[in-house]
Chains A and B, each alone.
Chain A
């Protein structure tokens, strides 16, 4: 059994950001949202940003199955990124990384 859940997401911004979209800033925004919604104890969720394509603004997150719902809630409720109104849209979620090929890779 695979204990992880993989989320394919994309970041949509209202206007172009001044700085580059580094992976660390994306992860920081998600952690900030988790702490705001679930607090110091509830927000302690281990997740990894496996990849983030800056050009297409798409990425893949890996999280333990038990925390997948919490992470998805936090992603949905992010309203701004570096002061710019934005949304994190989850295209697909699966316990198998291969299943995300359809939505993540553009042929």
Chain B
């Protein structure tokens, strides 16, 4: 029997304001965009769409879509400029076959972001202060 394949899309929501967004609102935004750009056919194709995880702090979301119609989602994400009620930009970070792969990517991605930020500091004291702050926030 043929397996039913899914694709998991890792999305970053960027906004200038402090965006308050829920997983349901994000799913609704994606469905509306699919209907706008790909019509009734597109909306029916992405009926399997589901926001599996939404990290509110980092504004990262993992969206599940069927393999094939996931291209509808990935192609319309750059055209979306509103998430919920606020202006926002959606950026595709990674498209993987499993949630595990997406989580691996998030770890790597966060590591790289932290290293970039640490690289901008000039003194050792600043670096230590920042790393302490990060480790404290992780403990909380």
* A residues neighboring B (CB under 8 Å): 35-43
* CB neighbours of A35 from chain B (8 A): 39
Say if the beta carbon of B52 comes within 8 Å of chain A. no
The residue on A at minimum CB distance from B44 is A37
Contact A36 B40 (CB under 8 A): yes
* Contact among B34, B36, B39, B75 with A37 in the assembled complex (CB-CB below 8 Å): B39
Interface size class of B (residues with CB under 8 A): 10 to 19
- Identify the closest chain A residue to B35 (Cβ): A39
Q: Mark interface residues in B18-39 (1 if CB within 8 Å of A CB, else 0).
A: 0000000000000000111111
How many angstroms from the CA of A39 to the CA of B72 in the assembled complex?
Answer: 11
Q: Which single residue of chain A is at the shortest CB-CB distance from B33?
A: A39
* Alpha-carbon gap, A65 to B40, bound state (A): 22
- Any A CB within 8 A of the CB of B4: no
Q: Please give the distance in Å from B88's CB to the nearest CB on chain A.
A: 20
B75 to chain A, nearest CB (A): 8
Which B residues from 59 to 76 make CB contacts under 8 A with A?
Answer: 75-76
**Do the beta carbons of B36 and A42 come within 8 Å of each other?**
no
Known A-B contacts: A39-B35, A40-B36, A41-B38. Give 10 more (CB < 8 A): A37-B40, A38-B42, A39-B37, A39-B39, A40-B37, A41-B76, A42-B37, A42-B38, A42-B42, A43-B39
Which residues from chain A contact B38 at a C-beta distance below 8 Å?
A: 38-39, 41-42
Bound-state Cα–Cα, A16 to B116, Å: 71
| Contact indicator A41/B40 (Cβ below 8 Å) | no
Question: B40 to chain A: which residues have CB within 8 Å?
Answer: 36-37
Identity of the chain B residue whose Cβ is nearest the Cβ of A33 in the assembled complex: B39
